[in-house]
Amino acid sequence: PVDRTAEIQEARLKLPILAEEQVIMEAIRENMFVILCGETGSGKTTQLPQFLYEAGYASGDSIIGITEPRRVAAVTMSQRVCKEMNLSDRIVSYQIRYEGNVTKDTKIKFMTDGVLLKEIQKDFLLMKYKVIIIDEAHERSVYTDILIGLLSRIVPLRNKKGLPMKLIVMSATLRIEDFTQNTRLFPITPPDIKVDSRQFPVTVHFNKRTPLDDYTGEAYRKISKIHRMLPAGGILVFLTGQAEVNSLCRRLRKAFPFRPHCKAPAEGEEDTVGDVKKFKKAKQKKTLTMPRIDLDNYSTLPVDEGDEDREAGIDDEEEQLGSDLDLDLGEEEEEGAGEGDKSDPSLPLYVLPLYSLLAPEKQAKVFRPPPPGTRLCVVATNVAETSLTIPGIKYVVDSGRVKRRFYDRVTGVSSFRVTWTSQASADQRAGRAGRTEPGHCYRLYSSAVFGDFEKFSPAEITRRPVDDLVLQMKDLNIDKVINFPFPTPPSSEALMAAEELLLSLGALEEPPKHGRLKELERAKLSCPITPLGRAMAAFPVAPRYAKMLALGKQQACLPYVITLVSAMTVREIFQELDRPAVSDEEKDKLTGKRARVVQMKRIWAGQGGALGLGDLMVMLGAVGACEYAGCTPKFCEDNGLRYKAMVEIRRLRGQLTTAVNAVCSEAGLFVDPKMKPPMDSQVTFLRQIALAGLGDHLARRVQPEEVLDPKWRNAYKTPLLDDPVFIHPSSVLFKKLPDFVVYQEVMETTKMYMKGVSAVEPEWVP
């Protein structure tokens, strides 16, 4: 029996899903698979786990699992359900990549989809769950798709063994044909239940003209107009990224001050070079013969063990990748009832940002009523599109844009691009305005432009490389990946490219080598995993980095490799300092900081041999110095580092250290905040380890005498790209131009730039 408060009880009764409880629970009782659709806000995420709990699906030792594609949703939804049920968070808990509050008493467990995938690797039949809910299936995140494919097989297996299990797939938009009409996935069409929503009408207003670039400016003008001229009611604005969100928030707060306040001028900046120098490399002596790392000497999993301590961990990386550089540092706005209100004649706007990487306390603010006498204005990325319902929104302002990462299918070159969203997403966004009363949606684009939007956003799995997925699946002994019941299969080119990469990393067994048959085997994509591949699959990082970890035990390099991989996995450790300054004061500050970063990079890069490790040495040096200084926001601010990135690296180091210890028990590693810089010989090994992981990202300098076309000056040639690539100006090797380099990735901006560059000795080149 659940003991809810009267207030909660009343709120629940207003949710449309309550009326459907009987129908839903009966369908679940009668079927292994059920699909549940309903408008955002109809109560799916908060109520279904409670229905199941009350119907006894968490009795005995079993628990109820719910997956979310986003960390934000996993955390906030578990907290909400916890509160609604009046239970402790020991019972209603969550688990995301690095943290969680799951206990042995947990009955309802919210988690990211990546966490559940890792659990399947440990226990294929997911014995502790009696029911799994896959939430937000319409988002079509890669791990959600894989989970649905796996569970379409696991659930019948469980039932055959007399250990009943249910799968419920929940989705907001009604595009469920990919699931229901896919007979490879579900041979018998599962019932789909639609929850009617009590959606109030939303009037959609299109712009006559479509601003091509300045949609944030247009959003600003529209919000100002709404705020000045239209009746009370919250405003929700959709932009594309964190930086945009923060800058519009600042602009709005300035125009409609909620509470006038001035920031104290920054204190005299302390010099931290001293700390940093302690980490600085000792003088290098040129080594004549280069020691070589043994590529066959890698860590393997101990037989029949080593899994237990493995932390669940592939994550909703896309969130992290999709996020912008963080400009939020040190610019906290103080909110709270203000005494300065009276002096300002206009109604204050209570402006709140909302995006994935925002700290949870700040995210929670959007659910609380705004201070009396103010109008709520939430400036959000598309997190607010479906997973979170913000109360009291009457006006939606939609930029119509979304930021996506694009990959070139062949070359793997990626770029972030802001593109038009889909019609389905735009309608979702509009729907956010009609939850509590009739509302209005202002689209900052014309109806003709809307007409040209694609109907639905494509499934993520069709848009990105799949090497990590293929490795995870091979580790589950799914060798013929091409036969897997994907809701939407990735292209065969993408699968092929993944298989090729994994073969080159030694994660898969080479197919027989005679002529035609080889082609045939490859085409079937059925190479089994090697012991090295299994060791790699145990690490919660992309296969390239996993390979580096597996080789790291030689020459006591592991702590360095772990640190390097952690830093390489986190996007961009430096603050964005090239942004246009809004004031002269800011301009001076930015100029000073840029100079400082250049200086620090030079120090961290070291000299001689260390310099050969290039940008990777900078990462090692930066993390080392930052940890040495206690990883404080001040140190990061002073040295142009992103504090959040450094915190993330610290967590990842801890997690990878645990994972490595599990695979390689004799390692006995721990995270050392006072890690010494690597010795010369270790740097040489680290460079070879980088080459082993990034071997397909090798680039050769085009020699001056080869340059026919001026565009090839200082350029590099890679096997895959016809066009020249360049060392990014932010790289410490920018002016060194080594003959051979490996790079972490090529990003296309004004040119094709290699980032994360490390020099390779010519004699190492295969």
The CB-of-17 to Mg ion minimum distance in angstroms stands at 10
The CB-of-135 to Mg ion minimum distance in angstroms stands at 6
Residue nearest to Mg ion (CB): 45
Query: Counting beta carbons within 10 angstroms of the beta carbon of residue 599, is it exposed (0 to 12), middle (13 to 18) or buried (19 or more)?
Result: middle
The CB-of-198 to ligand ADP minimum distance in angstroms stands at 10
Part in contact with ligand ADP (CB under 6 A); list of ranges 33-41, 115-123, 700-708, 709-717: 33-41
The CB-of-171 to Mg ion minimum distance in angstroms stands at 10
Determine if 363 is a binding residue for ligand ADP (CB under 6 A).
no
* Among the listed residues 20, 33, 37, 40, the single contact to ligand ADP using CB under 6 A: 40
Can you tell me the distance from the alpha carbon of 744 to that of 754, in angstroms, rounded to the nearest whole number? Answer: 7
* Among the listed residues 28, 33, 42, 115, the single contact to ligand ADP using CB under 6 A: 42
Each residue 67-86 as x (binds ligand ADP by CB under 6 A) or -, in order, gives: ---------x---x------
Each residue 32-51 as x (binds Mg ion by CB under 5 A) or -, in order, gives: ------------xx------
The CB-of-409 to ligand ADP minimum distance in angstroms stands at 34
The CB-of-360 to ligand ADP minimum distance in angstroms stands at 11
Closer Cβ to ligand ADP, 94 or 764, answer by number:
94
Closer Cβ to Mg ion, 70 or 259, answer by number:
70
The CB-of-426 to ligand ADP minimum distance in angstroms stands at 18
The CB-of-68 to Mg ion minimum distance in angstroms stands at 8
Can you tell me the distance from the alpha carbon of 275 to that of 139, in angstroms, rounded to the nearest whole number? Answer: 46
Determine if 141 is a binding residue for Mg ion (CB under 5 A).
no
Size of the site for Mg ion (CB under 5 A): 2
Size of the site for ligand ADP (CB under 6 A): 15
Contacts of residue 328, defined as CB under 8 A and 6 or more positions apart, other chains included, come to 242, 246
Can you tell me the distance from the alpha carbon of 193 to that of 378, in angstroms, rounded to the nearest whole number? Answer: 32
The CB-of-179 to ligand ADP minimum distance in angstroms stands at 17
Part in contact with ligand ADP (CB under 6 A); list of ranges 38-46, 103-111, 672-680, 756-764: 38-46
* Among the listed residues 43, 49, 434, 540, the single contact to ligand ADP using CB under 6 A: 43
Closest-CA residue to 600 (of 577, 584, 583): 577
Closer Cβ to ligand ADP, 46 or 758, answer by number:
46
Contacts of residue 205, defined as CB under 8 A and 6 or more positions apart, other chains included, come to 440, 441, 442, 443
The CB-of-168 to ligand ADP minimum distance in angstroms stands at 12
- From ligand ADP, Mg ion, none, interface partner of 246 (C-beta below 5 to 8 A by class): none
Determine if 50 is a binding residue for ligand ADP (CB under 6 A).
no
Determine if 46 is a binding residue for ligand ADP (CB under 6 A).
yes
* Among the listed residues 24, 34, 36, 38, the single contact to ligand ADP using CB under 6 A: 38
Can you tell me the distance from the alpha carbon of 559 to that of 583, in angstroms, rounded to the nearest whole number? Answer: 43
Binders of ligand ADP among residues 387 to 406 (CB under 6 A) are: 389, 391
Can you tell me the distance from the alpha carbon of 593 to that of 610, in angstroms, rounded to the nearest whole number? Answer: 25
The CB-of-172 to ligand ADP minimum distance in angstroms stands at 7
- From ligand ADP, Mg ion, none, interface partner of 171 (C-beta below 5 to 8 A by class): none
Determine if 302 is a binding residue for ligand ADP (CB under 6 A).
no
- Specify whether the CB–CB gap between 107 and 63 falls below 8 A: yes
The H or E element that residue 75 is part of is: helix 71-85
- From Mg ion, ligand ADP, none, interface partner of 168 (C-beta below 5 to 8 A by class): none
CB atoms near residue 460 (< 10 Å): 20
Determine if 369 is a binding residue for ligand ADP (CB under 6 A).
no
Can you tell me the distance from the alpha carbon of 487 to that of 713, in angstroms, rounded to the nearest whole number? Answer: 47
Determine if 242 is a binding residue for Mg ion (CB under 5 A).
no
Can you tell me the distance from the alpha carbon of 479 to that of 488, in angstroms, rounded to the nearest whole number? Answer: 18
Part in contact with ligand ADP (CB under 6 A); list of ranges 44-52, 352-360, 406-414, 505-513: 44-52
* DSSP notation for 650-717: HHHHHHHHHHHHHHSGGG-----TTPPPPPHHHHHHHHHHHHHHHGGGEEEEPPGGG--SGGGTT-EE
Can you tell me the distance from the alpha carbon of 404 to that of 745, in angstroms, rounded to the nearest whole number? Answer: 17
Determine if 45 is a binding residue for ligand ADP (CB under 6 A).
yes
Part in contact with ligand ADP (CB under 6 A); list of ranges 18-26, 43-51, 284-292, 547-555: 43-51
Part in contact with ligand ADP (CB under 6 A); list of ranges 36-44, 113-121, 221-229, 653-661: 36-44
Neighbouring C-alpha atoms within 13 Å toward the C-beta of 189 = 8
Can you tell me the distance from the alpha carbon of 502 to that of 544, in angstroms, rounded to the nearest whole number? Answer: 9
Closer Cβ to ligand ADP, 36 or 325, answer by number:
36
Strands across the sheet containing 192-195: 92-95, 108-112, 63-68, 129-134, 166-171, 33-38, 192-195
Q: Letter for the amino acid at 605?
A: A
- Specify whether the CB–CB gap between 259 and 340 falls below 8 A: yes
The CB-of-334 to ligand ADP minimum distance in angstroms stands at 23
207, 546, 619 from 310: Cα distances, Å: 52, 14, 26
The CB-of-476 to Mg ion minimum distance in angstroms stands at 28
Closest-CA residue to 642 (of 570, 719, 537): 570
* DSSP notation for 202-231: EEEEE-SS--SS-HHHHHHHHHHHHHHHS-
Strand partners, 699: 741
Closer Cβ to ligand ADP, 6 or 262, answer by number:
6
CB atoms near residue 515 (< 10 Å): 8
Burial readout 111-137 (b: 16 or more C-beta within 10 A, e: otherwise): bbbbbbbbbbbeeeebeebbbbbbbbb
- From Mg ion, ligand ADP, none, interface partner of 391 (C-beta below 5 to 8 A by class): ligand ADP
- What is the torsion angle, in degrees rounded to the nearest 10, for the CA atoms of residue 620, residue 625, residue 626 and residue 627? 90
Residues found near ligand ADP in the complex (CB under 6 A) = 15, 38, 40-47, 76, 80, 367, 389, 391
Q: Which residues bind Mg ion (CB under 5 A)?
A: 44-45
